[in-house]
Amino acid sequence: MDKVNLAEKLARIREAWVPRIVGELNGQMVKLAKFRGAFDWHHHEREDEMFLVIAGRFRMEYRDRAVELGPGEFVIVPRGVDHRPVADEEAHVMLFEPASTLNTGNIRTGRTLDRLERI
């Protein structure tokens, strides 16, 4: 039941696309990540995801459009929707998603993380 300082937690994250767990509630994980470049196209069969921008900018690309996001803005990606986050410059992002969510969803790549570190 301690407070979480986002700046302190983000300072501990060095690499892009490697989310870290900073909290849990009601079967949901609260994660922090740094985005840089383009992630892999994927979708999640059973989970919705929420991406909240803390710093920087990124765009959530869908097969038919893209949504630009800046600090204080969020997007919810519904289950089953192909998506790919892209950050031209580093962005700091908070994610809310079920504990069962695999970062690469329906695909396995070199970026797939079966276990996430808690910071």
The domains of the chain are located at 6-98
Q: How far is CA 112 from CA 6, 65, 83, 101, 105, in A?
A: 24, 25, 15, 11, 9
Six token digits for residue 61: 């690309």
pTM of the model: 0.92
pLDDT at 22: 96
Residue 75: beta bridge partners?
Answer: 51
Whether the per-residue pLDDT at 88 is higher than 80: the answer is yes
**63, pLDDT greater than 90:** yes
Tell whether the model's pLDDT for residue 62 goes beyond 90.
yes
> Which amino acid makes up residue 92?
H
- Mean pLDDT of the 14-20 span: 95
**Which residues lie closer than 8 Å to 73 by C-beta, 6 or more apart?**
52, 53
- The CATH number fitting domain 6-98, selected from 2.40.30.10, 3.40.50.2300, 3.40.190.290, 2.60.120.10: 2.60.120.10
